[in-house]
Chain A
């Protein structure tokens, strides 16, 4: 990883860490949400940006984890994130394994549609079922804590505590994915994205790697989903809707595909864009729609791509891999 990226990432983390110090519950909660979407967007970048798997159903794993958390809390009184978090990530991983096995048999648009369809299946499953709270979803009345035995280590009812937990999770996700990207495994994913036929001709069992990538990405989306419920205390069918999957895909492209830090920044940008546009006009969807189209058509490398192009212009350096 270039030292510029490391410095930039460290600076961003430092700035973020200062947010609870402003003692504004709104600000802290707002940025907690942004961090959660950073995890969600980075997890999708592994699939789309590194391996070339365009999934329109990534919200499925976010939703599986969210609903697992909500159900465990509402029906079994499970409020301990030390147990709830691993369990919901495991549920997301299993979901990703099953859906991956079924969808990765297909390619191209069939794959896009298959992933979308499975997420829609889950959407209707929870929407039409009383157990999952129907169209209203599951609203939680108790908060979340980290407890070992009787000792409460952390109380997520406290906005600052919650923020720092999520910040740690976000940084850990970023570092973990960055390591994976540079690892032999990550290089294989990039090879698959670049030329799948050639990877096969070299002897790589491509299907296995795609599945592994899909499951890792799905598990991390589950991490985001679990944290989301600890923040909002609500799991409702809209988080499984294909429009939600499309939204996180937009975050990836706006930030810059395949750069990890790009999608994280993209999450921030899109959420801010939506929030600011919504304050400007109730028809904010128009603004977001125009932005997405423009970025895709004219600035496909996203923000990171623009930044790199700017750097090349300014310093005359050749932008190399």
Chain B
């Protein structure tokens, strides 16, 4: 039992595509400051669920609460402004812009006065300072003039994290952040995520069980769009339904 605040909560959240129920009646709580992992077999509806949380998809049913407010039906940009950040299963970066510009666009959101029309973007010192700070936290190098479309897959994953750091959201929704990464890159990312989690709440969709059990404070298991179990790693591991449906069949 913890007395931490509930940062995000879903009640009976559902999504139907015609007659296909991709997400069924999912009710979970995410506590402030925790790392919450969502796992499940392929096709369990994890990414769809994440899309419901971040506003990319409208829910068919159910309620979403974030930071004390009912945010059901909010658009992605409104949710982002309210403090929700998102990384995507296939890296969604600005491929034809430079690595630095990617992060700068994120940083710019934190300084509303900087949306000017005539002063060059580079002259805004506070934005520049934030960009520098973000690059200090990841191993990505901002001085390389490469376009984001040209860097490696692992570097793109890192770039997405960097963009999230730039907007500094209360809640980060990360969709398979380590997918396609080498062993070393994964270890590196775990370190970064651990550091981030001291100041942010994380929700991770992950397939890599090592990552999950190293990082997660709590785990939710989704199978066929429904919650099979939700709680601390030890209890999820011990849950017999989970063992049969998922871990047991590996």
Contact = CB atoms under 8 A, between A and B. Distances in A.
Contact of A195 (B81, B94, B109, B114): B94
B167 A185 contact: no
Contacts of A186: 121
A177 to B, nearest CB: 11
Interface in B1-59: 54, 56
B77 A194 contact: no
A200 interface: yes
B118 A195 contact: no
Given A191-B105, A203-B109, A203-B167, A184 B115 contact: yes
18 contacts: A179-B118, A182-B120, A182-B121, A183-B117, A183-B119, A184-B108, A184-B119, A184-B127, A185-B117, A186-B121, A191-B97, A195-B92, A195-B93, A200-B80, A201-B76, A203-B80, A318-B145, A320-B98
B77 A205 contact: yes
Contacts of A184: 108, 114-116, 119, 121, 124, 127
Given A199-B105, A201-B54, A203-B77, A191 B86 contact: no
Given A203-B81, A321-B98, A321-B101, A198 B120 contact: no
A186 B167 CA distance: 19
B75 interface: yes
B65 interface: no
A259 B73 CA distance: 39
Given A180-B118, A187-B108, A321-B97, A201 B124 contact: no
B194 interface: no
Nearest to A190: B97
A2 to B, nearest CB: 13
B156 to A, nearest CB: 12
Interface in A46-64: none
Interface string B179-203: 0000000000000000000000000
B106 interface: yes
Contacts of B114: 184
Contacts of A129: none
Nearest to A204: B77
A185 B116 contact: yes
Interface string A177-218: 001101111111011001101111111111000000000000
B67 interface: no
A188 B105 contact: yes
Contact of B104 (A183, A187, A205, A206): A187
Interface string B82-120: 000110100011111110010011101100001111111
B119 to A, nearest CB: 6
A219 to B, nearest CB: 13
A318 B106 CA distance: 26
Interface in B102-148: 104-106, 108-109, 114-122, 124, 127, 145, 147
Contacts, number: 92
A318 to B, nearest CB: 8
Contacts of A204: 77, 109
B163 interface: yes
Interface residues of B, number: 38
- Interface core residue of B56, B88, B120 (most chain A CB under 10 Å): B120
Q: Which 6 A-B pairs have the closest CB atoms?
A: A203-B80, A194-B94, A203-B81, A200-B77, A200-B76, A182-B120
Nearest to B113: A184
Contacts of B54: 201
Given A194-B97, A321-B101, A202 B117 contact: no
- Interface core residue of B92, B105, B106, B115 (most chain A CB under 10 Å): B105
B181 to A, nearest CB: 20
A1 to B, nearest CB: 9
Given A195-B92, A202-B105, 11 more contacts: A183-B116, A184-B124, A188-B115, A194-B94, A197-B76, A200-B75, A201-B86, A201-B88, A321-B98, A321-B101, A321-B147
Given A184-B108, A195-B92, A201-B54, A321 B117 contact: no
- Interface core residue of A180, A184, A188, A320 (most chain B CB under 10 Å): A184
Contacts of A321: 97-98, 101, 145, 147
Contacts of A180: 117-118
A261 B101 CA distance: 23
B101 A183 contact: no
Contacts of B117: 179-180, 183, 185
Nearest to A209: B115
Nearest to A201: B86
Nearest to B104: A187
Contacts of A205: 77
- Interface core residue of A194, A205, A321 (most chain B CB under 10 Å): A194
